[in-house]
Amino acid sequence: MTTVDEQHGADASAMRRALELAELGPARGVNPRVGCVVLSPAGEILAEGWHRGAGTAHAEVDALSKLAPGAARGATAVVTLEPCNHTGRTGPCAVALVEAGVARVVYAVADPGDHSSGGADRLRAAGVEVVPGVLADEVEAMLDDWLFAARRHRPRVIVKWAASLDGRAAAADGTSQWITGAGARADVHRRRSAADAIAVGTGTVLADDPSLTARDDRGHLLEAQPVPVVFGHRAVPADAAVRRHPNPPIFPTGDDLAADLEELQRRGIRSLFVEGGPTLASALLAADLVDELLVYVAPALLGGPRLAVGDLGIPTIADARRFRFAAVERLGDDVLLVAHPTTHPGGN
Ligand SMILES: NC(=O)c1ccc[n+]([C@@H]2O[C@H](COP(=O)([O-])OP(=O)(O)OC[C@H]3O[C@@H](n4cnc5c(N)ncnc54)[C@H](OP(=O)(O)O)[C@@H]3O)[C@@H](O)[C@H]2O)c1
């Protein structure tokens, strides 16, 4: 007889393996990374599977496909995400598990999808024992941006700017390259590379002609490149550097930022790194669509009207938009301030 503690331990250890399998899947794209381990009633691993991206088998189906018919009867399936209840490019995993005769399903995190959730209920209705929440924190951490985007129907929006001590983003003639030093710029490139997409407004494209690539300190492209997104109506010149980006650019109008962000999420973009300029950053802030601010402050003064952020429609100090500092870092001569809005402090 297995004790309750032994059962918990076996579930957690299989979930740890399922997490490793999930991490073999692609970190970007519309679908989450998911891993699955099928255990015999005696607790031995019968099969393993993971999801390789949209249009391919889900982790549960991948694992079951490695077993002979009937071999999963009475088995336990340990999956990082609640089995789906959705017929998309593949059938519902909840049904595949029931049809295979699986007796117990252990999962970490509930599926937040509008069309895919409900798998646990479907399993229970078919008499399968369901154990949710095993290693939920670890799986939440792995699926951080995907869960954020799936739950909010938009990517996590990170707004970055570089400013002088007096909060200016450019000099009187519009030049802003470079306010901060090499350390701050390298940090920006690392963060660009970690994001799914990078955004600016047409104003920045027309003023600075940025390439919107993530590069190392010798100017070579980093392996992971964000998708460039240029918000606005004005035409981006045919010879603009962004048009030579390794990923084809996306050009939303910016008329309805919430709808544009939703569309980016539908395209599989989970995190959007917004590099300006002040007009786009202000519009996102005014619409309360910013989840993280990265402010690189240089020990310099520029004076003048070119503020890092424009009007946010705040009439009086009581209406100030409040943030909490999540981190403060020294980068060479500059300082990086990371701040999260108090209304939604960065969590999922
Ligand atoms: N210090 C820094 O970190 C930093 C970073 C970037 C840029 N800059 C500087 O900023 C300056 C450019 O400033 P900018 O404010 O013109 O650039 P911007 O914010 O990149 O572009 C502004 C344009 O974005 C479009 N847009 C799209 N959606 C919008 C919305 N919902 N609300 C308002 N506008 C929207 C509009 O263009 P359409 O008319 O085409 O619709 C608007 O004119 C340059 O001097 C650049 O060097 C500084």
- Which of these, 286, 290, 280, lies nearest to 345 by C-alpha position? 290
Cα 278 to ligand 1 centre (Å): 6
Cα 211 to ligand 1 centre (Å): 15
Is residue 203 in contact with ligand 1, taking CB distance under 6 Å? yes
Residues labelled as active-site residues: 60
Phi, psi of 71 (to 5 degrees): -70, -20
Pocket-testing residue among 204, 233, 264, 289, ligand 1, by greatest number of atoms within 8 A of Cβ: 204
CATH of 4-142, one of 3.40.140.10, 3.40.50.720, 3.40.190.10, 1.10.150.120: 3.40.140.10
Ligand 1 atom nearest 254 alpha carbon: 28
Cα 157 to ligand 1 centre (Å): 16
Is residue 180 in contact with ligand 1, taking CB distance under 6 Å? no
pLDDT tens by residue, 231-281 = 999 999 999 999 999 999 999 999 999 999 999 999 999 999 999 889 999
Cα 172 to ligand 1 centre (Å): 16
Q: What local confidence, expressed as pLDDT, does residue 297 receive? A: 98
Cα 68 to ligand 1 centre (Å): 59
Domain extents in the chain: 4-142, 153-341
Q: pLDDT band for position 179 (50/70/90)?
A: very high
Q: What local confidence, expressed as pLDDT, does residue 152 receive? A: 94
Pocket-testing residue among 161, 253, 280, ligand 1, by greatest number of atoms within 8 A of Cβ: 280
Is residue 179 in contact with ligand 1, taking CB distance under 6 Å? yes
Cα 213 to ligand 1 centre (Å): 18
Phi, psi of 163 (to 5 degrees): -140, 160
Report CA-CA distances (Å) from 346 to 99, 225, 239, 307, 343.
40, 23, 37, 25, 9
Ligand 1 atom nearest 207 alpha carbon: 44
pTM summary value: 0.90
Is residue 232 in contact with ligand 1, taking CB distance under 6 Å? yes
The mean pLDDT value for 100-108 works out to: 97
Q: Strand 35-39's sheet: what is its strand order? A: 45-50, 35-39, 76-81, 104-109, 129-131
Is residue 169 in contact with ligand 1, taking CB distance under 6 Å? yes
Higher local confidence (pLDDT), 269 or 9: 269
Distance CA 336, CA 339 (A): 10
Instruction: Supply the residue whose CA is at minimum distance from atom 30 of ligand 1.
Output: 254
Instruction: Supply the residue whose CA is at minimum distance from atom 31 of ligand 1.
Output: 254
- The architecture of the domain spanning 153-341 is 3-Layer(aba) Sandwich (3.40)
Higher local confidence (pLDDT), 28 or 245: 245
Phi, psi of 181 (to 5 degrees): -90, -175
Give residues with Cβ within 8 angstroms of 100, minimum separation 6: 64, 67, 72, 73, 75
The mean pLDDT value for 32-55 works out to: 95
Query: In which residue are the tokens 């331990």 written?
Result: 9
Q: What local confidence, expressed as pLDDT, does residue 150 receive? A: 93
- Asked if residue 1 has pLDDT above 70, the reply is no
Give residues with Cβ within 8 angstroms of 47, minimum separation 6: 37, 38, 63, 64, 66, 67, 72
Q: pLDDT band for position 174 (50/70/90)?
A: confident
The per-residue DSSP string of 95-151 comes to HHHHHTT--EEEEEE----TTT--HHHHHHHTT-EEE--TTHHHHHHHTHHHHHHHH
pLDDT tens by residue, 47-101 = 999 999 988 999 999 999 999 999 999 999 999 999 998 877 667 999 999 999 9
DSSP category for residue 305: S
Instruction: Supply the residue whose CA is at minimum distance from atom 43 of ligand 1.
Output: 203
Instruction: Supply the residue whose CA is at minimum distance from atom 25 of ligand 1.
Output: 232
Is residue 276 in contact with ligand 1, taking CB distance under 6 Å? yes
Cα 305 to ligand 1 centre (Å): 15
Pocket-testing residue among 231, 242, 263, 290, ligand 1, by greatest number of atoms within 8 A of Cβ: 231
Q: What local confidence, expressed as pLDDT, does residue 90 receive? A: 66
